[in-house]
Amino acid sequence: MRFYTHQHQFYCGIDLHARAMYVCIMDQTGTVLVHKNLPSQAESFLQIIAPYQNDIVVAVECVFTWYWIAAMLWGGMLPMAYTYPQKMRSTRDLLRRRMYLMHQRSELLAHIQNSKEYRCGCAASGYLRKSSLKH
C-alpha cells in the first residue's frame, strides 16, 4: 500500500455536517492555528483557509457529497479521493478477504514446517507441499 508522504506547511481537518462544519488547521509542529465551528458554506471555508492556501492539505469527513466540495475538487483545489463503484465493492471485498486468507495460510504452513523441523531435528527440504498436509 502506498501512503502519501509529502510534507506540507499546514493541515486542515473538517468534520462536515448539514448546517455546520468544524474546522481545525494546524501547522507542521502540530500547533493549532484555527479551531472553529462554521456554517457549511463554501465562502466561509475559503475565507478561513485563505491565509494558509499556499501549502495546505485538507481532509474532510462527511456522509453526503456536498456540491461545493465537488466544485473545489473539480477546480483542483482539493486532491480527489477514490471511491470504488458500488458494483465493484463486492469484488474488492472478496479480494481483501482472499489476501487475508492467503496470508493466514502462509503463516500456518510456515508454523507447521518450523514445528516439524524442531521436533524431528532435521532441516526441511524446501517448502511444505500440499500433498504432505493431506495425511
Q: DSSP states of 12-65 as a string?
A: EEEEE-SSEEEEEEEETT--EEEEEEEES-HHHHHHHHGGGGGGEEEEEE-SS-
pLDDT at 99: 94
**Order of strands, edge to edge, in the sheet holding 32-39?**
32-39, 20-27, 10-16, 56-61
List, for the chain, all residue ranges whose pLDDT scores fall below the cut of 70. Answer: 1-5, 62-82, 122-135
CB-CB contact of 123 with 117 (8 Å): yes
CATH number of the CATH domain containing 25: 3.30.420
pLDDT at 1: 42
**Cell triple for 120:** 524431528
What is the pTM for the complete model shown? 0.46
Please give the Cα distance from 25 to 21 (Å, whole number): 13
Domain boundary among 33, 51, 74: 74
pLDDT at 48: 92
Give the chain's domain count.
2
CB-CB contact of 69 with 78 (8 Å): yes
Shared domain for 96 and 42, answered yes or no, is no
Shared domain for 39 and 65, answered yes or no, is yes
Full residue range of the structural domain in which residue 36 is found: 10-74
Shared domain for 100 and 52, answered yes or no, is no
pLDDT at 128: 53
Shared domain for 102 and 68, answered yes or no, is no
Domain assignment of residue 81, yes or no: no
pLDDT at 8: 80
Q: For residue 20, what are the contacts with CB-CB under 8 A and spacing of at least 6?
A: 37, 38, 39, 40
pLDDT at 100: 95
